[in-house]
Structure 1
Amino acid sequence: MFYTKIGKLALGSRLRMLSERVTEDAKNIYDLYDVELKPKWFPVFYSLSQNQEKSITAIAEEIGHSHPSVSKIVSEMCKAGITKEKKDKKDGRRNLIELTKKGMLIAHKIEDQYKDVNHAIELALDQTQHNLWKAIEEFEFLLEQKSLFRRVKEEKSKREREKVTIVAYDAKYHKAFKELNEEWIRTYFKIEVADSMALDNPKEYILDNGGHIFIALYNNEPVGACALLKNNTIISDFELAKMAVSPSAQGLGIGLLLANAAIDKARLEGAKEIYLESNTVLVPAIKLYQKLGFQKVSGFSTPYERCNIQMILKL
């Protein structure tokens, strides 16, 4: 069987095929009981058959359908003479939907069908090793917590993240280090004197002063960078700086990998604190720093006009 061979990749297609098979049986069952309903009308019909007039919005919320979908079904049922619309006496701007006399007759007539269908399904489920109804409820609950799209997206990121490696700076990465940083700075701010000093002369300005630079490679191509500056003027440990990730590599958690590499290096060298400067317009970056444990501080001088937040991580 095709679906057994292809496996869970075809979950949607297999469920759709099952739905089409059950829907076709439902049509025949309605004919068997001489009930003038279409399978797609049933949730709306059942909701209204509880002797209560309802708005389209209320029906949609109850059965879990979209408002346009319910509106279309109600329109079809009105044309078939099963439902009717009337103005809400309490709110003339709103229409209420209720069953017509024909609809109420169907509601009475369908009771035997309900009993037989329910019993037939229970017998079928009793013959299965895994109860489909309970499995559907469980799967729906899981998808409410996290959609299938989100789950697949996470798997994609996890797989692609395995292609990311963090390496120590080498002269061959100077061009990438500079361009990655200049790209993000120009996106939000402007290149300042302190930027040029570090980006034009990373060996002299960062490495020779006891600092470190980390490069993120994706499929062996540099897509991210950050620096750990030896800091003897503010808190006598290190400063996390010059972090940049290419827009083409966003969503892979590269910023977190770079920051962790820098933090691990600082710990290895006996640092007690790591300082950083940023700007609150960089919301994802601030959230990353907070996730890592950085806390807001103030009172330190800065060479950057764009700096409006200072943070420290105690190791």
Structure 2
Amino acid sequence: MYLSSLRELALGSRLKALSDHFYQAVDEVYRASGAGIEARWFPVLRYLRDVGPTTVTDMAVAIGQTHSAVSQLADRLVEAGMVTRQRDPHDGRRSVLVLTAAGERALGELGPVWLAIRRGMAESMGPRGMALLDAIDGCEQALAERPLVAAILDQRVALSRAVVEVVPFQPALREHFRRLNQQWLERYFRVEEVDRALFADPEGMIVAPGGAIFFALYAGEVVGTCALIHEGDGIYELSKMGVDENYRGLGAGRKLLDEAIAWFRQREGRELFLESNSRLGRALAMYERAGFVRQPNARPGSHYARADVYMIYRGA
């Protein structure tokens, strides 16, 4: 599933989908069993039966829902005859929710249905169901101890002080070379055979013959990459420049480019060129600012079907 690939970023959406699935399943069970309640009513009705008359505010805290959500749910339960609002005998200025006789009867008949729900979930989900319940318990406790918003904003402040650094190729980063380049190739063009060959063996095809691969790191996250491919006789191709589109504005592309040019100069290379496509306007502008000059025609014998721009480095 797509959302699973986003991990923590889609946690709320994934839990919402699971919640909807469970609500719908239990509602179907209630209807099939002739029960007169809905799945969303359960926490309020059960709490009123187990604890007794309760204010909307206290109920919201107890079941972890907003005051507004509980108030709206209470309105529906009053309409259904399951709950009534009464004056609090201890404080006449406020009202409490009270389970009605109809509500008591409805809950009193649901024991076999709830047992079926418990056993059906155990059969359907197996040990993973218990693991999910334990994980939810752990999440609730952790969030109570360290509120999520505060934790995220603290991280945001820390990240605002982070800067992009460029590091040379490391085997542990190999997969990011493929990931970052495949990301933009699939979005704008297609992955060609020459690309697949380089992704499969970047050490053998780029590093070993005298080239280099660089990675841009932001707070330890790999956000960009580029390569210098040695064509022989001091001629290098700047290639496979890819920056994660979620990290634009950090200057990662320019830092990678500057590092590649510095590496080329240190080795007293004879020529540095690149091939690109006219659709990539922002990238072409960056190359021009760095000292690359567009040539009138495409490079003879180009490896890439997508290439319609040929640029040679003339110095900034």
Structure 2-normalised TM-score? 0.47
Structure 1-normalised TM-score? 0.47
